Copies of this chain bind each other. A is one copy, B any other.
Amino acid sequence: MQKGRPREFCKEQVLDKALHVFWERGYEGTSLSDLTEAMGINRPSLYAAFGNKEELFRQALDRYAEKGPGAVYREALAEPTAKAVVERLLKSSADCLTDPANPPGCLAVQGALSCGDAAESIKQELCQRRARVEQELRLRFERAKAEGDLGRKSEPESLARYVMTVMQGMSVQAAGGASRADLHAVADMALRGLAAAES
Protein backbone atom coordinates (compact mmCIF):
# COMPACT_ATOMS: atom_id res chain seq x y z
CA MET A 1 0.00 0.00 0.00
CA GLN A 2 0.99 3.57 -0.54
CA LYS A 3 2.07 5.79 2.33
CA GLY A 4 0.55 9.20 2.90
CA ARG A 5 -3.01 10.39 2.73
CA PRO A 6 -5.01 8.79 -0.08
CA ARG A 7 -6.48 10.87 -2.88
CA GLU A 8 -10.15 11.60 -2.35
CA PHE A 9 -11.18 11.55 -6.02
CA CYS A 10 -10.94 9.06 -8.86
CA LYS A 11 -8.26 10.22 -11.27
CA GLU A 12 -9.92 8.80 -14.36
CA GLN A 13 -13.25 10.23 -13.40
CA VAL A 14 -12.02 13.80 -13.00
CA LEU A 15 -9.89 13.38 -16.12
CA ASP A 16 -13.07 12.65 -18.03
CA LYS A 17 -14.53 15.86 -16.69
CA ALA A 18 -11.47 17.77 -17.85
CA LEU A 19 -11.67 16.09 -21.24
CA HIS A 20 -15.25 17.21 -21.58
CA VAL A 21 -14.35 20.84 -20.85
CA PHE A 22 -11.38 20.87 -23.24
CA TRP A 23 -13.54 19.24 -25.88
CA GLU A 24 -16.17 21.92 -25.53
CA ARG A 25 -14.05 25.04 -25.17
CA GLY A 26 -10.73 24.14 -26.75
CA TYR A 27 -7.35 24.40 -25.05
CA GLU A 28 -7.08 28.16 -25.03
CA GLY A 29 -10.73 28.71 -24.21
CA THR A 30 -10.47 26.61 -21.07
CA SER A 31 -9.24 28.27 -17.88
CA LEU A 32 -7.98 26.54 -14.78
CA SER A 33 -11.07 27.78 -12.98
CA ASP A 34 -13.26 26.10 -15.61
CA LEU A 35 -11.32 22.90 -15.02
CA THR A 36 -11.31 22.84 -11.23
CA GLU A 37 -15.00 23.68 -11.16
CA ALA A 38 -15.91 20.89 -13.57
CA MET A 39 -13.56 18.39 -11.97
CA GLY A 40 -14.73 19.20 -8.47
CA ILE A 41 -11.20 19.48 -7.10
CA ASN A 42 -9.12 22.50 -6.20
CA ARG A 43 -6.12 23.85 -7.92
CA PRO A 44 -3.23 22.29 -5.99
CA SER A 45 -4.88 18.87 -6.26
CA LEU A 46 -5.06 19.30 -10.00
CA TYR A 47 -1.39 20.24 -10.20
CA ALA A 48 -0.36 17.39 -7.91
CA ALA A 49 -2.30 14.83 -9.92
CA PHE A 50 -1.76 16.03 -13.48
CA GLY A 51 1.23 18.37 -13.60
CA ASN A 52 -0.10 21.50 -15.25
CA LYS A 53 -2.67 22.63 -17.77
CA GLU A 54 -0.72 21.40 -20.77
CA GLU A 55 0.03 17.97 -19.31
CA LEU A 56 -3.57 17.65 -18.21
CA PHE A 57 -4.67 18.33 -21.77
CA ARG A 58 -2.29 15.71 -23.12
CA GLN A 59 -3.61 13.14 -20.66
CA ALA A 60 -7.18 14.04 -21.59
CA LEU A 61 -6.21 13.68 -25.24
CA ASP A 62 -4.74 10.23 -24.59
CA ARG A 63 -7.96 9.21 -22.92
CA TYR A 64 -9.93 10.62 -25.86
CA ALA A 65 -7.83 8.55 -28.23
CA GLU A 66 -8.02 5.34 -26.21
CA LYS A 67 -11.44 5.15 -24.64
CA GLY A 68 -13.34 7.73 -26.67
CA PRO A 69 -13.78 8.21 -30.41
CA GLY A 70 -10.30 6.88 -31.03
CA ALA A 71 -11.45 3.38 -30.12
CA VAL A 72 -14.27 3.58 -32.64
CA TYR A 73 -11.83 4.58 -35.31
CA ARG A 74 -9.55 1.63 -34.53
CA GLU A 75 -12.49 -0.74 -34.84
CA ALA A 76 -13.22 0.71 -38.25
CA LEU A 77 -9.68 0.00 -39.45
CA ALA A 78 -10.20 -3.65 -38.58
CA GLU A 79 -12.98 -4.10 -41.10
CA PRO A 80 -12.12 -6.71 -43.73
CA THR A 81 -12.35 -4.58 -46.87
CA ALA A 82 -11.32 -1.05 -47.74
CA LYS A 83 -14.88 -0.20 -48.63
CA ALA A 84 -16.12 -1.46 -45.29
CA VAL A 85 -13.38 0.50 -43.52
CA VAL A 86 -14.44 3.74 -45.15
CA GLU A 87 -18.11 3.10 -44.62
CA ARG A 88 -17.63 2.24 -40.97
CA LEU A 89 -15.32 5.21 -40.51
CA LEU A 90 -17.69 7.77 -41.97
CA LYS A 91 -20.79 6.32 -40.33
CA SER A 92 -19.17 6.09 -36.92
CA SER A 93 -17.84 9.62 -37.31
CA ALA A 94 -21.33 10.89 -38.02
CA ASP A 95 -22.54 9.22 -34.83
CA CYS A 96 -19.58 10.16 -32.69
CA LEU A 97 -19.43 13.78 -33.72
CA THR A 98 -23.07 14.25 -32.78
CA ASP A 99 -23.21 12.03 -29.70
CA PRO A 100 -25.42 14.01 -27.32
CA ALA A 101 -23.33 12.78 -24.39
CA ASN A 102 -20.33 14.71 -25.69
CA PRO A 103 -19.65 18.16 -27.08
CA PRO A 104 -20.22 18.22 -30.84
CA GLY A 105 -17.19 17.82 -33.06
CA CYS A 106 -13.74 16.32 -32.64
CA LEU A 107 -11.21 17.27 -29.97
CA ALA A 108 -8.29 16.67 -32.30
CA VAL A 109 -9.72 19.26 -34.69
CA GLN A 110 -11.15 21.94 -32.46
CA GLY A 111 -8.83 21.56 -29.48
CA ALA A 112 -6.39 24.05 -30.95
CA LEU A 113 -6.82 24.59 -34.69
CA SER A 114 -5.23 27.99 -34.45
CA CYS A 115 -3.92 29.67 -31.35
CA GLY A 116 -1.44 32.00 -29.72
CA ASP A 117 2.16 31.22 -28.81
CA ALA A 118 1.33 29.61 -25.47
CA ALA A 119 -0.70 26.84 -27.12
CA GLU A 120 1.58 26.31 -30.09
CA SER A 121 2.93 22.98 -28.89
CA ILE A 122 -0.59 21.70 -28.26
CA LYS A 123 -1.52 22.68 -31.79
CA GLN A 124 1.48 20.78 -33.11
CA GLU A 125 0.56 17.73 -31.07
CA LEU A 126 -2.96 17.71 -32.50
CA CYS A 127 -1.61 18.10 -36.04
CA GLN A 128 0.65 15.13 -35.50
CA ARG A 129 -2.17 13.01 -34.15
CA ARG A 130 -4.33 13.79 -37.14
CA ALA A 131 -1.43 13.03 -39.46
CA ARG A 132 -0.83 9.73 -37.69
CA VAL A 133 -4.43 8.67 -38.17
CA GLU A 134 -4.19 9.61 -41.83
CA GLN A 135 -1.06 7.54 -42.20
CA GLU A 136 -2.61 4.50 -40.55
CA LEU A 137 -5.50 4.84 -42.94
CA ARG A 138 -3.09 5.07 -45.86
CA LEU A 139 -1.32 1.91 -44.69
CA ARG A 140 -4.66 0.16 -44.46
CA PHE A 141 -5.44 1.14 -48.05
CA GLU A 142 -2.02 0.04 -49.22
CA ARG A 143 -2.68 -3.34 -47.69
CA ALA A 144 -6.06 -3.42 -49.42
CA LYS A 145 -4.40 -2.62 -52.71
CA ALA A 146 -1.85 -5.37 -52.22
CA GLU A 147 -4.65 -7.80 -51.41
CA GLY A 148 -6.48 -6.87 -54.60
CA ASP A 149 -9.26 -5.39 -52.52
CA LEU A 150 -8.60 -2.01 -54.11
CA GLY A 151 -7.96 -1.49 -57.82
CA ARG A 152 -4.44 -1.27 -59.25
CA LYS A 153 -4.99 2.33 -60.24
CA SER A 154 -6.13 3.39 -56.77
CA GLU A 155 -3.97 5.81 -54.80
CA PRO A 156 -3.92 4.91 -51.11
CA GLU A 157 -2.34 8.20 -50.10
CA SER A 158 -4.88 10.40 -51.89
CA LEU A 159 -7.70 8.16 -50.77
CA ALA A 160 -6.65 8.39 -47.13
CA ARG A 161 -6.28 12.14 -47.32
CA TYR A 162 -9.66 12.44 -48.95
CA VAL A 163 -11.43 10.38 -46.31
CA MET A 164 -9.69 12.33 -43.55
CA THR A 165 -10.73 15.58 -45.21
CA VAL A 166 -14.37 14.52 -45.27
CA MET A 167 -14.20 13.46 -41.63
CA GLN A 168 -12.57 16.71 -40.59
CA GLY A 169 -15.14 18.66 -42.56
CA MET A 170 -17.86 16.72 -40.81
CA SER A 171 -16.29 17.72 -37.52
CA VAL A 172 -16.52 21.39 -38.47
CA GLN A 173 -20.12 20.83 -39.52
CA ALA A 174 -20.89 19.20 -36.20
CA ALA A 175 -19.29 22.05 -34.29
CA GLY A 176 -21.51 24.36 -36.30
CA GLY A 177 -24.64 22.54 -35.22
CA ALA A 178 -25.21 19.99 -37.99
CA SER A 179 -27.47 17.12 -36.94
CA ARG A 180 -26.68 13.45 -36.99
CA ALA A 181 -28.92 13.00 -40.02
CA ASP A 182 -27.08 15.81 -41.80
CA LEU A 183 -23.75 14.10 -41.27
CA HIS A 184 -25.06 10.73 -42.34
CA ALA A 185 -26.24 12.31 -45.56
CA VAL A 186 -22.74 13.69 -46.07
CA ALA A 187 -21.23 10.28 -45.36
CA ASP A 188 -23.62 8.62 -47.82
CA MET A 189 -22.75 11.09 -50.51
CA ALA A 190 -19.03 10.58 -50.01
CA LEU A 191 -19.49 6.82 -50.10
CA ARG A 192 -21.55 6.95 -53.27
CA GLY A 193 -18.88 9.11 -54.88
CA LEU A 194 -16.11 6.73 -53.89
CA ALA A 195 -18.01 3.67 -55.06
CA ALA A 196 -18.82 5.31 -58.38
CA ALA A 197 -15.29 6.57 -58.93
CA GLU A 198 -13.86 3.16 -58.14
CA SER A 199 -15.98 1.32 -60.70
Binding site for B on A (CB under 8 A): 23-26, 28-31, 34, 103, 105, 109-111, 113-116, 119, 127, 130-131, 155, 158-159, 161-162, 164-173, 175-178, 182, 185-186, 189-190, 192-194, 196-197, 199
Contacts and interface: CB of A to CB of B under 8 A. Distances in A.
Nearest to A115: B29
A113 B172 contact: yes
Nearest to A116: B29
Contacts of A166: 165-166, 169
Contacts of A186: 158, 161-162, 165
Given A26-B113, A114-B25, A162 B176 contact: no
Instruction: Determine which residue in A25, A30, A171, A189 has the highest number of CB atoms from chain B within 10 A of its CB, and name it.
Output: A189
A187 to B, nearest CB: 9
Given A30-B116, A113-B105, A158 B173 contact: no
B172 A170 contact: no
A186 to B, nearest CB: 5
A176 B130 contact: yes
Nearest to A188: B158
A156 to B, nearest CB: 12
Contacts of A119: 29
